[in-house]
Amino acid sequence: MRRQVLVESGHRCAIPTCRQHPVDIDHIDDWAKVREHRFENLIALCPTCHRRKSAGEIDRKSVRQYKENLGVLNSRYTAMEMQLLRWFVKYRAQRGYPMLPYGMVWLIGNLVEDNLVSLSNDRGGLRLMREQAEIRRAHYVVLTEDGKDFIARWIDARPLSPTL
């Protein structure tokens, strides 16, 4: 069961804005209350987030929602897509936009299909970037408005739609 919980979170903290490691396996509802180990009640948290949860800084409802969101994310998106989503959580386009080689759209096909990202040869009309994309034969991966909302819901521990 421990391995399942670690795999579910990618062996990192389940809080999307944290993602630190190493992690502890923690009970969402305290062990003293439930007296059992169930996958649905276990989550991977780094020691800092574990302490924050224990101190009430991260409420139980949010932790439960982070756990549910991991299930939605893992059932829908590939490891590559999850890495891209985490990049958008971490940088929120403050570092420009990642590039994807032409012909490799299938790597992020679910994100494109769900309208969370779009592909562009021209980001903001910047000639230098357009020329770089042409030289590298790549698309810029741009977070759509739906994608921005999705990232905000994930960070804020709000439900992610399983049907998207």
What's the total number of domains in the chain? Answer: 2
pLDDT tens-digit map of 125-156: 444 455 554 556 778 899 999 999 999 999 99
State residue 162's pLDDT score.
Answer: 52
Residues 16 and 29 in one domain: yes
Residues 69 and 86 in one domain: no
Residue 33 is assigned to a structural domain of this protein:
yes
State residue 139's pLDDT score.
Answer: 82
- Segment 64-77 shows an average pLDDT of 95
State residue 132's pLDDT score.
Answer: 54
Decide: 122 and 100 in contact? Cβ < 8 Å. no
Q: Look over the chain and give the mean of its residue pLDDT values, rounded to a whole number.
A: 87
Residue 119 is assigned to a structural domain of this protein:
yes
Decide: 101 and 138 in contact? Cβ < 8 Å. yes
For 18-161, where are the alpha helices, taking DSSP H only?
Answer: 31-34, 47-54, 60-76, 79-91, 109-113, 127-136, 145-155
- Domain end residue (candidates: 23, 52, 76): 76
- Domain end residue (candidates: 76, 103, 138): 76
Residues 71 and 10 in one domain: yes
Q: Looking at the predicted structure, is the pLDDT value of residue 62 above 60? A: yes
pTM for the complete prediction? 0.83
Residue 131, domain extent: 79-155
Residues 71 and 130 in one domain: no
- Segment 72-89 shows an average pLDDT of 93
State residue 120's pLDDT score.
Answer: 83
Residues 111 and 88 in one domain: yes
Residues 63 and 94 in one domain: no
State residue 125's pLDDT score.
Answer: 46
Q: Tokens representing 30?
A: 């305290």
Q: Looking at the predicted structure, is the pLDDT value of residue 61 above 90? A: yes
Residues 16 and 65 in one domain: yes
